[in-house]
Amino acid sequence: MTLKLGRHEFADDATLMMAIVNRTPDSFYDQGATWTEGKAFERVAQVVAQGAEIVDIGGIKAAPGAEVDVEEEKGRIVELVARVREAFPGLVISVDTWRAAVGEAVCRAGADVLNDAWGGADPELVDVAASYDAAIICTHTGGVTPRTRPHRIEYDDVVAAAIADTVAYAERAVAAGVDPRSAVIDPAHDFGKNTFHSLELTRRLGEMVDTGWPVLVSLSNKDFVGETLDLPVGERLLGTLAATAVCAMAGARIYRVHEVVETRQVVDMAWTIAGRRPPARAIRGLQ
């Protein structure tokens, strides 16, 4: 399916790198390295130079922590979105938020995508996306409250649940007026899930791809990788890339990442092996 992400369109054989930019003082991965607006903007410039097609700007860490109200969240990200929009007109700007009020503010500032990591916790977010012709990421969280960790959550079939919930969310977005090319589904590894659930979703991601909706995966340095390999956050790159290769073989279209260059190489290799992408050059044995 051709992707329409706000003012940008991508062919149905395109894979996209979505680079993470945290305007938070307490990110689990970078521990506030891009907390100031200047550092966050430097990160944007860096990942653009590395080839990222999308940046995903977030103003609240996903894990439990200090309360961040709507005005504080807007204060962290709206001006940054406007600055990035002016500096990089060809870049897709995504904002990681579940709040409709924040979504409206960032869309006015130039955002193209609303990345709802909390599975429709604010039902009005789809109306904001429709009003601004923005794309929306429809995630599966099992109905957990935003910024809470799962505790002994159970599914009869986690993949079936993820498909049912994300497809229903995408259909609700389209019914609200979102372009059908602008709804993306995301199994949301670790969100509302234990490690076994995330591994099952990775193994069976092709079932989500088979729905026909474009699939995003956010695997980078997640706990399911760390628990599988018994490694801390800073040592999960190889495990992340292994999971990425599996999802790429299955046909995921968008990859939300910390490491752009490494992920791009893995995805391109996997898509070429799968027969969806030609080699960049192929002269061996031909000349």
The vertex-104 CA angle with 102 and 109, nearest 5°, equals 95
Contact yes or no for 79/104 (Cβ under 8 A): no
With tokens 């500096």, the residue in question is 87
Mean pLDDT in runs of 10 for the chain (287 residues)? Answer: 93 96 83 89 98 97 91 97 98 98 98 97 98 98 92 96 98 98 98 97 98 98 98 96 98 98 98 97 94
Q: What is the pLDDT of residue 157?
A: 98
The catalytic position among 23, 99, 204, 256 is 256
The catalytic position among 23, 74, 222, 264 is 222
**DSSP β-bridge partners for residue 55:** 19, 93
Active site annotation includes 256: yes
Give the side-chain half-sphere CA count within 13 A for 122: 21
Domain positions in the chain = 3-273
What is 3-273's CATH number? 3.20.20.20
Q: What is the pLDDT of residue 31?
A: 67
Residue 276, amino acid: R
The pTM for the full model equals: 0.96
Active site annotation includes 74: no
